[in-house]
Chains A and B, each alone.
Chain A
Amino acid sequence: MLLIHCPYCGERPEIEFRHKGEAHIVRPENPAVSSDIEWTEFLYFRHNPKGPHAERWYHTHGCGRFFNAQRDTGTDRFLKTYRTDETP
């Protein structure tokens, strides 16, 4: 089980959290004019790297807030966690 440092609550066990996918995916400004390729990228395509991965976590059974993390997917070690209004 991962130990996750919530920027608001401190270190807590993984079962308090929900993983919410890749972070920093920006919805196209105006979907009506974005191309099919851009829209498909936004909806479905993910980086899925082996190594540092930017991801969102949600502290379901805690503060109930979203935050971001950088985690190495090769070792599962967290490199850092940060609030959504902070830059990595």
Chain B
Amino acid sequence: MRFNFWNLAKQSLTGHTGWPEQWRDPEPKSAYDVVIIGAGGHGLATAYYLAKEHGIRNVAVMEKGWLGGGNTGRNTTIIRSNYLWEESEAIYEHAMVLWETLSQELNYNVMYSPRGVMMLAHNEQDVRIFKRHVHANRLAGIDNEWLSAEQAKDFCPPLNISPNARYPILGAALQRRGGVARHDAVAWGYARAADRMGVDIIQNCAVTGIHRDHNGVVTGVETTRGEIKTSRLGIAAAGHTSVIMAMAGLHMPLESFPLQALVSEPIKPVLPCVVMSNTTHAYISQSDKGELVIGAGTDQYNSYSQTGSLHITTRTLDAICELFPITRRLRMLRNWGGIVDVTPDRSPIIGLTPAEGLFVNCGWGTGGFKATPGSGHVFAATIAHNQPHPIAAPFSLHRFRTGRLIDEAAAAAVSH
């Protein structure tokens, strides 16, 4: 049933008892044309575009927990495309364009809100690098502008621009088209739309092994609910990518780290935009419920525990209190961690692998949410044609051998 005014009115009159389930809970079949591992935003978007744009509907998305329960439901929902290098600009802007019409496309309100993303410069080096970003972005046709400290305060009034601050604000780069979206709704919207086209989303079913024949070609996966045959397997497992790839005997240029976030108690609207301070690893926006959503930096050690150290979040909150003195007496409601897979050059890996039939979409590190639609779109094309989509091609696994790294200093929350 579509979400529209007519159906809403009809359901209102009958006590909202007639809404059908948004997606099925199917038993896994014994074989699929394509199997995707990981029902987060990226995996579900991949399945959706496989079905919609490539006519491949006999697809299963395997999820060891519940859909959208990993990093999709744990991030701070920031969307922007003001990256430095042309390759990154291409993929993040591709995603940005898809974000702009995603709610209509999926018939699901993903609450995309282009309220502006402001990145603060606290020292001369920040000023130089952000101005370079502004110029690079404008050459690529991506909006990004330089603001003085006073202009930054005009745009975001609670900001403390005192020159006596611990990290004084010397200016800011503003991408007005950047913003936030409702992270859960992105997973739910893609899940519902993919399910309607016949994609099986199989939750609470962990993949425990990957089968390859004597030539190394992928033939299927072993799961906690039996074996599933497939000739094309796509991995979109974020922090656990190394673990899944090891099942196929493959080694990856990835390390997994905890990344933490917090939300405050809800307050009246005070923050009109997203504010990022990469230097202090403090990222903040306000949700529609009124909570301040705060992102911190990564922990320094490899971990899969989905919890991080308290001193990381303490340091971030110190910075938030300094940037926004009005938040000093605010209490935090929840604090959680997710596991992010970080590559040596802070850029993702999308494409083919040394194993025929095995495709990987990983390494999004601390910034994968913003790329969800674009990532799924190019990954679906890569799987469908067994060759990299032009936008995905520079992000191949092969780049670590050729040395054509995409050293992306615009990535947040990680040290460079």
Q: Which residues of A contact B304 (CB under 8 A)?
A: 50, 73-74
C-alpha spacing A50/B244, complex, angstroms: 10
Q: Are A73 and B305 in contact (CB under 8 A)?
A: yes
Q: Does B390 contact A (CB under 8 A)?
A: no
Interface residue from B240, B252, B254, B301 paired with A2 (Cβ < 8 Å): B301
Of A26-34, A39-47, A79-87, the segment with at least 4 beta carbons within 8 Å of chain B is: A39-47
Q: Does B72 contact A (CB under 8 A)?
A: no
Q: Are A50 and B243 in contact (CB under 8 A)?
A: yes
Q: Are B303 and A45 in contact (CB under 8 A)?
A: no
Q: Are A48 and B300 in contact (CB under 8 A)?
A: no
> What's the nearest-Cβ distance from chain A to residue B17, in Å?
44
C-alpha spacing A71/B303, complex, angstroms: 9
- The tally of CB-CB contacts under 8 A between chains A and B is 68
B278-313 vs A, CB cutoff 8 Å, 1 = contact: the mask equals 000000000000000000000011111101011100
Q: Which residue of B lies closest to A75 (CB)?
A: B305
C-alpha spacing A74/B401, complex, angstroms: 30
> What's the nearest-Cβ distance from chain B to residue A1, in Å?
4
Total chain B interface residues with beta-carbon distance under 8 A? 24
Q: Does B344 contact A (CB under 8 A)?
A: yes
- Other than the given A19-B300, A76-B303, 10 more pairs (CB < 8 A) read A40-B401, A41-B251, A45-B252, A46-B254, A47-B242, A49-B242, A49-B243, A50-B243, A50-B304, A76-B307
Q: Contact residue range for chain A?
A: 20 to 34
- From B303, B307, B309, name the one whose CB has the most chain A CB atoms within 10 angstroms: B303
Q: Which of B191-227 contact A (CB under 8 A)?
A: none
Q: Which residue of A lies closest to B241 (CB)?
A: A48
C-alpha spacing A43/B345, complex, angstroms: 12
Q: Which of B122-147 contact A (CB under 8 A)?
A: none
Q: Does B400 contact A (CB under 8 A)?
A: yes
Interface residue from A15, A41, A44, A48 paired with B242 (Cβ < 8 Å): A48
Q: Are B253 and A45 in contact (CB under 8 A)?
A: yes
Q: Which residues of A contact B300 (CB under 8 A)?
A: 18-19
Interface residue from B240, B254, B310, B341 paired with A1 (Cβ < 8 Å): B310
> What's the nearest-Cβ distance from chain A to residue B50, in Å?
28
C-alpha spacing A15/B251, complex, angstroms: 31
C-alpha spacing A34/B301, complex, angstroms: 30
C-alpha spacing A24/B344, complex, angstroms: 18
> Knowing A40-B400, A44-B400, A49-B243 touch, does A1 contact B311 (C-beta < 8 A)?
yes
Q: Which residues of A contact B372 (CB under 8 A)?
A: none
Q: Does B330 contact A (CB under 8 A)?
A: no
C-alpha spacing A43/B403, complex, angstroms: 11
Q: Which residues of B contact A47 (CB under 8 A)?
A: 242, 251
Q: Are A14 and B309 in contact (CB under 8 A)?
A: yes
